[in-house]
Structure 1
Amino acid sequence: MMEMTAREKSIQEAFQERMDESELLNCMRCGFCLPACPTYIETGFDETHSPRGRIALMKAVYDGLIAPDQEVEHSLNVCLGCRACEPVCPAGVQYGHLLEEARDIFNEHHPHSLPVKALRKTMFDGLFPHQKRMAQAVGLLGFYQKSGLQTVARKIGFMNLFPESLRQMEKALPEVPKHRRMKSRLQQAAASETTIAKVAFFSGCLMDTMFLETNDATIKLLQKAGCEIVIPENQGCCGALHGHSGEKEKAKELARRNIAAFEKTEADYIIVNAGGCGAFLMDYEHLLKDDPEYAERARQFSAKMKDISQILYELNFHERVPLQVTQQVVTYQDSCHLRNVMRTAEAPRVLMQAIAGVEYREMEKADSCCGSAGIYNLVQPEMSMQILDHKMEKVTATKAQTIVTANPGCLLQMKLGIEREGLGDQVRAIHIVDLLLEACG
């Protein structure tokens, strides 16, 4: 055993209390995960930035063989959390669960500065859990876009005060809907014709504000597919950003709130149109496994989760509804969590290829992360942009005019990639829901 500071000793004790040793031992160090890990590849095959390397670090901290110092924390933070290692792991190691627990422990023992504490409290406690505040915040962005401030800020060079990636991100942001539209939301909708299934729609926080049009398109597609739709009023943020950022208790609070809201709908399925949200919602079963009141309720909730593309595919939407767009080459960027956690990869591809006018071209390594990963592109901009630039090389090789995604973070990241490559007049990025509604005519 080595000597540690009081803080490091507390972290090591928390590892022993909270980390699942059996899961840590499940890793056989076989290396099957290495080719699937973006950070391992981007760092020049650095083992400390691979899944098995990070698990080895966690186990060493657990055993007291190494100090849980800044280097260990940095390795965990550089991880995208894309979970591409999980489908290829022969032992079925739940790496994502280990990563979130370790990050949560480090965050609890991290001496954040007062400004950082204030920012985290504002974001995680004051903004995301409260949809009205989220709408107000997004409304301010809309005012910035529509009032002329955006034009002025660009002309006077104000945006030059920010890093290049943020300047480009500002240009890639979608046009925000008017605030009154965000305030008036449906709570239920009937099927267009015969009702085949009753579904509850998880509208999300950013999806129901900045990406409101995509949510509206989702509801219209579900109606056309024969779904009666219920949109619980008391639902809220899924908690993914909290769970991925070391705010696990707040994530649990949000999970309980959502489970209670959706139980009342008695729906056959719970539908989501954001891969990142869907994966975390499915993980409620794990998140609340030790909660005697919610463990079984969480299991039932998670069992009902389906991505919009999966339910449309299962209801044969693409065979029953005529779909056509103007002739264009289309490629697809997988949402990591949709593919690796929700295990949905075939459905979106089948739906796209069913559209008349679409020439579908599979992108090389479409299943590899684009570098968005929630707020990763903000907290790890250098690695994120490195991954994005390599992703855009794959996009360019397809000669696609349309890049389709299934997650808001991926969508913004691909828009950012288009901006960085100067392809704004040649290529567009679009959510699969919006493409399908466009194809409905």
Structure 2
Amino acid sequence: MTERTVPTTEQPRRQPPDRKPVDLGIPTARGDRSEVLARPAFDDHRPPSPELLDDCVHCGFCLTTCPTYQLWGEEMDSPRGRIDLMRAASEGAPLTSSMVDHWDACLGCMACVTACPSGVQYDRLIESTRAQVERRVERPPADAGLRALIFSLFPHPRRLRLLRGPLRLAQRTGALGLVQRTGLVGRVSPQLEVMQSLAPPLGPRVEVPERTPAVGTRRAVVGMLTGCVQREFFGDVNAATARVLAAEGCDVIAPRRQGCCGALSVHVGREEEGAAFARRLIDTFEDAGVDTVVVNSAGCGSSMKDYVHLLSDDPDYADRARAFSAKVRDLSEILVELGPVAPRRPVAEDGEEVVVAYHDACHLRHAQGVVSQPRALLNGIPGVRLVEIPDAEICCGSAGVYNILNPEPARELGDRKAANILRTGARLLVTANPGCLMQISQAMERAGQPVPFVHTATLLDASLRGEQLV
């Protein structure tokens, strides 16, 4: 057996000389200044658990999988370094701008959770820490305004629908491309420029029926999350998901009144907002009377499986959240559990072999531990030869709204991911998360070598229907 080498910080990766810290609008401790923002650092509501903090033994296995440590080689931008800051804050150190800077720089990809041999629950630690920051730090106007814009829009499907029409018109007339080429938006705000550029090409809006009956013998009754960005910008993926489930013997219930799952809110520390979304979603699917709730967005599924912790101290919802979380399945999980009954067909012309690269969304691979199931489904399609992407465990830089809040490191991570994908020689890319799809598609465009990129459900649906994708 090959002995594992423990990474150390003796030879860190090169830190780019122009690397900029997250802009809080206040002095940071990248140099020798750090403004005190709160004393004590944490309040009494769910501070990072001392027991969980003590699980970290500083072995260093997390370093090779941490995107920000790989970018900058800085100890405080590694999981164990951020845990040290949490421990200092928990033991009485004041909350400073440098602490917030380092925690904000984390993508929350959870690759460190997968890599850690000690079972450190970094996901719990960073989530509780970010909730503390959001309660106790008054962000500067520009940052606060951007966050307000994001969370007044993205978790609200009806508002996204209102935006969708003008955005599609701007794409079709070329107005959006013209604005992008001027660079005016980027000069005003790099973050807004990223929001503008991430939008996928929009076709006619696709709505999933509230009920899609099973084809043939009914094997299960499942609820389906339609999501927010997924519903309004990737409606074709939802439609494909419903068709695939129906073809495999599922009655699919997609309640019209369902809303946001709260994933984006929880991810950045907006705990109460995320909990409110979670309660409403639990109510909706309880009323639907389904056995399983199927999710086709990795970030959403991760959050929904974690309602049991998010609502653990809510006397009215703790037990209901536990039961709900136990019902949540990623699309690939439920399909593998049921086993295939519908015949698969090739997706390439004349049935020729097509090389497919599967990109693991972080919140599917690391947060949910769903790795083998998508690969099993793809390998079951005739003519597909699945190849692995080098450094697959490293995040693409999307990470919820991270690529909007932190465009420079996100862009570098996206470009690294694109370069690794191109090394595979794949003719088709597949993933299970809309954020990854948008982020990597943009990076592939920058590389000048765009490759068709689809959701897992889209590829499965094409195979079941005998349609060609390449």
Instruction: Assess same fold via TM > 0.5.
Output: yes
Query: Letter of the aligned partner of 1:123 in structure 2?
Result: I
Q: What residue number does 1:9 align with?
A: 39
**Distance change >3 Å, CA 172–CA 321, structure 1 → 2:** farther
Residue 439 (structure 1) aligns with: 463
CA distance in 1 between partners of 2:59 and 2:166 (Å): 50
Q: Which runs of 5+ in 2 are unaligned?
A: 1-33
- For 2:47, give the aligned amino acid: R
**1:6-405 mapped onto 2 (5 Å cutoff):** 7-10=37-40, 12-14=41-43, 18-44=47-73, 46-64=74-92, 66-124=93-151, 126-153=152-179, 161=187, 173-178=199-204, 181=205, 185-317=208-340, 320-326=342-348, 327-405=353-431
- In structure 2, how many angstroms separate the alpha carbons of the residues matched to 1:122 and 1:386? 24
SS of the residue 1:325 aligns to: coil
How many residues were matched structurally?
428
Q: 1:142 to 1:260 in 2, by over 3 A?
A: same
The answer on whether the counterparts of 1:334 and 1:368 sit within 8 Å (CA) in structure 2 is no
Q: 1:316 to 1:422 in 2, by over 3 A?
A: same
**Contact 1:172–1:419 under 8 Å retained in 2:** no
101-110 vs 209-218, greater mean Cα deviation: 101-110
| Secondary structure in structure 2 of the residue aligned to 1:363 | coil
Q: 1:371 to 1:293 in 2, by over 3 A?
A: same
Q: 1:359 to 1:218 in 2, by over 3 A?
A: same
Q: 2:435 matched to which residue of 1?
A: 409
Q: More displaced, 204-213 or 430-439?
A: 430-439
Alpha-carbon distance in 2 for matches of 1:145, 1:220: 29
Partner of 1:430: 454
CA RMSD across the alignment: 2.4
- Structure 1 residues 73 and 114, CA, compared in 2 at 3 Å: closer, same or farther? closer
Which deviates further from its counterpart, 134-143 or 265-274?
Answer: 134-143
**Rounded Cα–Cα distance in structure 1 between residues aligned with 2:86 and 2:178:** 49
- Is the 8 Å Cα contact of residues 308 and 322 (structure 2) preserved in structure 1? yes
1:224 Cα deviation from its structure 2 partner: 0.4
Structure 1 contact 177–212 (Cα < 8 Å) conserved = no
Deviation at 1:144, TM superposition (A): 1.8
Amino acid at match of 1:416: Q
Q: Quick one: distance in 1 between partners of 2:107 and 2:459?
A: 27
Deviates more, 1:191-200 or 1:384-393: 384-393
Q: How far apart are residue 58 of structure 1 and its match?
A: 0.2
Partner Cα distance (2:194, 2:150) in 1: 23
Shift of 1:227: 0.3
In 2, Cα distance between equivalents of 1:414 and 1:342? 21
2: CA distance between counterparts of 1:5 and 1:77?
16
The structure richer in helix per residue is 1
Counterparts of 1:6 and 1:87 in 2: how far apart (Å)? 34
TM-score (norm 1): 0.90
Q: Report how far residue 8 of structure 1 moved.
A: 2.2
Deviations 1:206-243 (A, max 9, x none): 11100011001100000001101111223211111111
SS in 1 for 2:461: helix
* Distance of aligned partners of 1:17 and 1:301 in 2 relative to their CA distance in 1, 3 Å threshold: closer
Report if aligned partners of 2:346, 2:463 keep a CA contact under 8 Å in 1.
yes
Paired with 1:139 and 1:175, the residues of 2 have a C-alpha distance of: 12
Q: 1:328-356 CA deviation, whole Å, 9 max, x = no partner?
A: 21111101011112211111111112212
After alignment, is 229-238 or 136-145 more displaced? 136-145
Note if contact 2:293-2:328 (Cα within 8 Å) is conserved in structure 1. Answer: yes
Aligned in 2, Cα 1:47/1:185: closer, same or farther, shift over 3 Å? same
| 3-state SS in 2 of match to 1:331 | strand
After superposition, the C-alpha distances for 1:180-208 in whole angstroms (9 at most, x for unaligned) are x46x5421111011100110001100111
The 3-state SS of whatever aligns with 2:453 is strand
Over 3 Å counting, the alpha-carbon distance change for 1:341 and 1:138 in structure 2 is same
Distance 1:237 1:162, change over 3 A: same
Aligned to 2:16: none
**Matches of 1:230 and 1:122, distance apart in 2:** 31
CA distance in 1, matches of 2:453, 2:127: 30
1: CA distance, partners of 2:263 / 2:320 = 19
Higher mean displacement: 371-380 or 86-95: 86-95
Contact 1:176 1:209 in 2 (8 A): no
Q: How far apart, CA to CA, are the structure 2 residues paired with 1:422 and 1:168?
A: 18
Which whole-Å CA distance do the structure 2 matches of 1:206 and 1:86 have between them? 27
